[in-house]
Chain A
Amino acid sequence: MNLFTDEVLLDYVQQRLSPTMSQKLERAIQNDSELALRVKNLRCGELPYTAVFAYESLPPVPTHLMEQVHLWARLSMRSISDAASARQKPQAQFFGAKLGAKSNALWRAFSLKGIRASILSALGLSIVLSFGMGAGVSTWVLSSQADDANSWTTAVALYQRLYQRETLEAVNFDAPQTHQLLVDLQKRYGMHLRVPDLQSEGLELKRVQFLALAQKPIVQIAYMPKVGTPIALCVTLSGSRDDQAIHHKEYAGQHMLVWRQQGISYLLIGTQSEQELRQFMPKLQSALWS
């Protein structure tokens, strides 16, 4: 049996070996050139690794990755609190409880069935959106193939409620990316969309992006108000050609103004009151259709 294992040599070089063992090793080194070489190499391999790698200038954590992880963490915590409140108040929180359970189930489904891998590779940066939409969107896809206005607005509301000011604070509007998205939208879905500039209404344009919804696109145009949580205009193709007047809905703490025009469904959503949201409508509609 080799008395001087690699572990023992490491302890010796790092001066953690007992004096007795050290003396034995030093005597052995005198007569064993191979052992001497091992110790020599070990000493030469004692390099300032921490400093060397600390110097290495690595790319920073991508912003979208940070956003994703924050979102997943919040969603994960929220699904627990939903389930907990459902257990505490089964009657009063019936709808919330149902959502909490669904949210958990869909979280598990998303996590376990390999969906995430395909979404990750297929959608790249838009993973935040596809996952954020996961709970509501999957419900919609499973429950109805029709253009059920309740379902897509519910899905968007579940996603929008994850938006806080910090979600968009670090985001800078990316004009080239938005242009490309609009080109793709027209090419793939024949939807010609104008991005309304609502700066005069105190809404800063932050981001335009796709939300994954089965085979249909939802485009989310996110704005940051001067105060309060972000507001979004969401747009999707409608199954119906009939126009529908603006009407108000409320779900998951989100107020929504919903309407349909020329085969396209629109949704303006935020935690702001119905009246506050309605103030943006004249400018918004004129920007969309001018």
Chain B
Amino acid sequence: MSDVVALNLPECLPRLWRFALRLTRDPHDAEDLVQRTCLRALEKKHLYRDQNRLLSWLFAIEHRLWLSDFSDRYRHSTDAIDDNGLMQSFPDKSAGPEDIFFYQQVRSAVNQLREPYRSVIQLVAVEECSYEECAQILEIPIGTVMSRLSRARQMIGTQFAPPTSAENLAGDSTVLPFNPFLKRQVKR
């Protein structure tokens, strides 16, 4: 079983890299985190038991290392979580400006979440892990995963909610994020 880890580790590398980038928002830290994750996985490979869940096992190691070794430097600063910086370096020009704006708004909203909520959103909504897998990776009960996911979506939802009629009547001039997703829903 332990050889399964060494044999399949390179194949998991793109997902580990992506998850690390999204945790750290910094390619240098992401690289360091992935290196540590791979070394830790190889030195602990005798502890790997579940043949079909290697990626979850690796994500768990990566997340644990992120919490223990990296997250302190980001905890008090949202500046480090700079979505634009990462995007500007690697632009994708395949989408229209409305979509780009909306996507940036959503990513920004996710990145501004506090760590417990951000990780749950990343794993469930982005990496498409099941609640059970997410619970294993974060080492928390499934109920807590659901609770955090719900709270995270509520927090994000406040930024994407359409104005109530009362707010409109009161002349609320707050600029709401443009949400083509909602626009499309309305059109349908």
Residues of A whose CB lies within 8 Å of any CB of B are: 5-7, 9-11, 38, 40-50, 52-53, 55-59, 61-62, 65-66, 68-70, 72-74, 76-77, 80, 107-108, 111-112, 116-117, 120, 127
Contact = CB atoms under 8 A, between A and B. Distances in A.
Given A49-B125, A73-B7, A65 B17 contact: yes
B87 A42 contact: no
Instruction: Label chain B's interface by main secondary structure.
Output: helix
Interface in B18-71: 18, 21-22, 27, 31-32, 34-36, 38-40, 42-43, 45
B39 A111 contact: yes
B140 interface: no
Nearest to B102: A52
Given A5-B147, A50-B126, A66-B10, A112 B43 contact: yes
A41 to B, nearest CB: 4
B99 to A, nearest CB: 8
Contacts of B18: 58
B107 A43 contact: no
B10 A73 contact: yes
A11 B142 CA distance: 13
A77 B7 contact: yes
A59 B160 contact: no
A45 B42 contact: no
A251 to B, nearest CB: 24
Interface string B109-127: 0100000000001000110
B152 A108 contact: no
B81 interface: no
Interface in B137-162: 143, 146-147, 149-158, 160-162
B14 A61 contact: yes
Contacts of B102: 52
